[in-house]
Amino acid sequence: MSLSVQSEEPARLVSVRLLGSNDAPSPPTEVPVVVKSEAEWLAQLGAARFRILRSSGTDAPFCGTLFDNKMQGIYLCAGCQLPLFASEAKFHSGTGWPSFFQPFAKENVFERRDASHGMIRIEVLCTRCDGHLGHIFPDGPEPTRLRFCLNSEALIFLEAGAEPPAAAAAK
C-alpha cells in the first residue's frame, strides 16, 4: 500500500536549461514548476529570502552578499536552485546590486510589468518557482545593453567546479 500523497493535478511543466558539462547550459529540458504554500516557502527560505523572493522585496544597496563577488561560477535561484546567471555575464554596475547583462538561459527567467512604487519597471522572475529576482533596465553594457539588477537574497552562488545540487544539474 502506498502512503504517498498524489496531488490531484499533474504539475505544469516548463522548459528550462540546467547545468550541463563544464557548467554550460543543457539542451532545453522539461521540468515541473515548483509550487509551495506561503508557510512552506517561509520555512524553507527564512524571513530575509522570503521577503525578496515571495514578497517582491528589495535588498538595500551595497548590503547584499553577492554584489561584489568576483569569483567564477553560477548563480542559482535561492528558491528552487535553477541556474539563473553565470559569472561571465556579471559586470560592475556601481549600483550596489549584483548586475548581469544576460541570464544563464533565456528560458530560465521571465519578465513581468511592475507598476509598484509609482514606477513602471520590468520585473524578472524565476521560470521554475515564480520567485521575484529583481528588475531589468535598458542601460547595461554590450552585447545586450540590458542590466539585470538582482537581489543577493534571491541567489545562491555555486563556485565553478563545485558539485551542483541535483535540482540544478542535467541528468
According to DSSP, the residues that pair with 169 across neighbouring strands are: 19
What x/- string results for residues 9 through 48 when contact with Zn ion is judged by CB under 5 A? ----------------------------------------
Give min distance, CB of 82 to Zn ion, in A: 5
Q: Which three cell numbers stand for residue 5?
A: 500523497
Site size for Zn ion, by CB under 5 A? 8
Q: Please report the DSSP string for the chain in residue order.
A: ---PPPPSSPPPEEEE--B-GGGPBPSPEEEEPP---HHHHHHHHHHHHHHHHTT---PPTT-SSSTT---SEEEEETTT--EEEEGGGEE--SSSS-EESS-S-GGGEEEEEE-GGG--EEEEEETTT--EEEEEES---TTT--EEEE-GGGEEEEETTSPPPGGGB--
Give min distance, CB of 50 to Zn ion, in A: 13
What x/- string results for residues 107 through 126 when contact with Zn ion is judged by CB under 5 A? -------------------x
If the CB atoms of residues 92 and 112 are measured against Zn ion, the closer one turns out to be: 112
If the CB atoms of residues 79 and 134 are measured against Zn ion, the closer one turns out to be: 79
Annotated catalytic residue 80: no
If the CB atoms of residues 44 and 96 are measured against Zn ion, the closer one turns out to be: 44
What x/- string results for residues 74 through 103 when contact with Zn ion is judged by CB under 5 A? ---x-xx-x---------------------
Q: Would you tell me which residues interact with Zn ion (CB under 5 A)?
A: 77, 79-80, 82, 126, 128-129, 131
Residues that are catalytic: 149
